[in-house]
Amino acid sequence: MSFFTFTTNDVTQALEETIKNFDSTVSSIVDLLTFNPKTGIWVRFWELSDKISITISAVAVCIAVIYAYLAIIKEGLTLKGDFKKIITILLRLCITKGLIDYSTSFMYWIYSFGVKITKLTNDGIGELDGDNLSSLFTDAAKQQYLAGLGLDGTPNSFECFIGYIETKFFFGIFFWGLAIMLMIISIARIFKIYIIAMFSGIALAKIPFYGFEGIKEYIKNILGLSLQGAIMIGAIALYKYCIVNNAEDISGFYTDGIFGMFGVIAILSICLILIIAKSETIAKMLV
């Protein structure tokens, strides 16, 4: 490509290539957000979590027995006291023993509800506006992007060259940074899920003393992790929709066109980063 033969078509092609790369990364991230921890490449991770859970189950049961003893002391009960309360505590202990023995399965059952919501969210977004960002960039959107770069009308080759560099460098950096951050958060989320599965027995051991109120926070954390995927997918969808359909309206809030499309992408990217960083907290607010 000669320096003197750059056209607006080269700029839009660079834009499309950058977006397609981002779409490819997002597709991989969606797979991570909707993954099944017991199937596919994740089987070995699940087997490891299950093995560790079984290894520490005896300790978890001992902790549960201690909690049951503390519950009896708290109630001031003796063998001459209230047998109904004693039986209730012992029944809790028996239930706890069963849950500890199958703690990873219990955790997976809770997690599956959020995964189902995440998959439905992703399917709904796909039906609404297409599966990727590149499908949303119509000819009108491309013209809007060129106008934001000051390439509307009949720009010369040098102006198109500058627009091409801005697209490949600045535009690419933002999407690259977003993709890296999304990937890091998605993988870290997977690690959290397996770690919680490993040590679920310890959380369940509190049932004899606190009742099922004692594992309320544990269940909330699992549901929060599983729903985090849906929050992230929804945030990405809003980000894509705003870039294509509301860029001009958003730019009117803060600039008179000096920054153009690049300024809009910068603002929307920062907003997405803030939402993604708080996605787990937002998910926990819903459960």
| Residue-wise pLDDT tens digits, 31-78 | 888 888 888 888 899 999 999 999 999 999 999 999 998 888 877 666
Rounded Cα distance between 88 and 79, Å, is 14
Note the pLDDT tens digit of each residue in 171-198.
778 778 888 888 888 899 899 999 998 9
Domain extent, residue 42, equals 3-285
Kindly report the average pLDDT of the chain as a whole number.
Answer: 80
CA distance 124 to 118: 10
- The tens digit of pLDDT for each residue in 218-236 reads 898 899 888 998 898 888 8
Q: What is the pTM of this model?
A: 0.77
Q: What is the pLDDT of residues 229-284, one digit of tens each?
A: 889 888 888 887 777 665 555 545 444 454 455 667 777 778 888 888 888 889 88
Give dist(CA 90, CA 108) in Å, integer: 26
Q: Tell me, what's the pLDDT at 142? A: 72
Share of the chain above pLDDT 70, in %: 83
- CA dihedral over 89, 209, 286, 126, signed as positive or negative: negative
Cβ atoms 195, 222 nearer than 8 A: no
User: What's the structural domain count of the chain?
Assistant: 1
Whether 137 has a pLDDT exceeding 80, the answer reads: no
